[in-house]
């Protein structure tokens, strides 16, 4: 018996009609903070160039929301990375990150930043893997202590800063290929 190969994910920018499906994916992806459908509609409308969706057979399996912070054109801040349970364990998060960094509009990116909670080991491994593939390092520093979250039981959010890197370098070509 021969198993059919698993189809690759189609990676694309989100569209406004994807907002509700993205909301549902985030809702099914603890420990991610769930935002309103409206917030995801705004990401699709205003930040499609720095966000990516992963689909297979018409199903949404992954989403990354990211943006370039004002005045920091060399930095991509990754807000949320969600991978559906059925697609976990196959490197989809890393593939989506590589896809984003390969976009011509993001060619000037030299650093990736994100925040992670102390217990989110999956995200920490994914971003460490990205740094390794890009031939650079990860620096960690405090950013948002739990006290800033208004007593909602939220844990500290540590800033991870990856870089500097140049995606046109050999390490960058390996990451995209």
Partnered with residue 139 across adjacent β-strands are 161
Alpha-carbon dihedral sign for residues 108, 95, 37, 158: negative
Q: What is the pLDDT of residues 41-76, one digit of tens each?
A: 999 999 999 999 999 999 999 999 999 999 999 999
Taking phi over 0 as left and psi of -120 to 50 as alpha, with beta for the rest, 57 belongs to: left
- What does CATH list as the number for 10-176? 3.40.630.30
Over range 131-135, report the average pLDDT: 95
DSSP 32: S
Question: Distances in Å between the alpha carbon of 7 and those of 151, 165, 176?
Answer: 44, 31, 19
99, 91 Cβ separation under 8 angstroms: no
pLDDT at 5 (0 to 100): 47
């Amino acid at each position: 018996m021969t198993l059919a190969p698993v189809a690759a994910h189609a990676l694309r920018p989100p569209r406004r009609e994807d907002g509700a499906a993205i909301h549902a994916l985030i809702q099914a992806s603890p420990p991610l903070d769930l935002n309103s459908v409206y917030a995801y509609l705004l990401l699709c409308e205003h930040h499609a160039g720095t966000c990516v969706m992963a689909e297979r057979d018409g199903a949404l399996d992954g989403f990354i929301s990211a943006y370039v912070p004002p005045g920091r054109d060399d930095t991509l801040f990754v807000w949320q990375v969600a991978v559906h349970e059925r697609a976990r364990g196959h490197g989809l998060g890393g593939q989506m990150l590589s896809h984003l960094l390969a976009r011509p509009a993001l060619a000037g990116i030299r650093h990736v930043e994100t925040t992670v909670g102390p217990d989110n080991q999956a995200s920490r491994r994914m971003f460490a893997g990205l740094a390794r593939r890009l031939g650079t390092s990860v620096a960690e520093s405090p950013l948002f202590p739990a006290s800033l979250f208004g007593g909602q039981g939220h844990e500290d959010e540590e800033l991870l800063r990856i870089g500097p890197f140049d995606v046109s370098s050999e390490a960058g070509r390996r990451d995209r290929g």
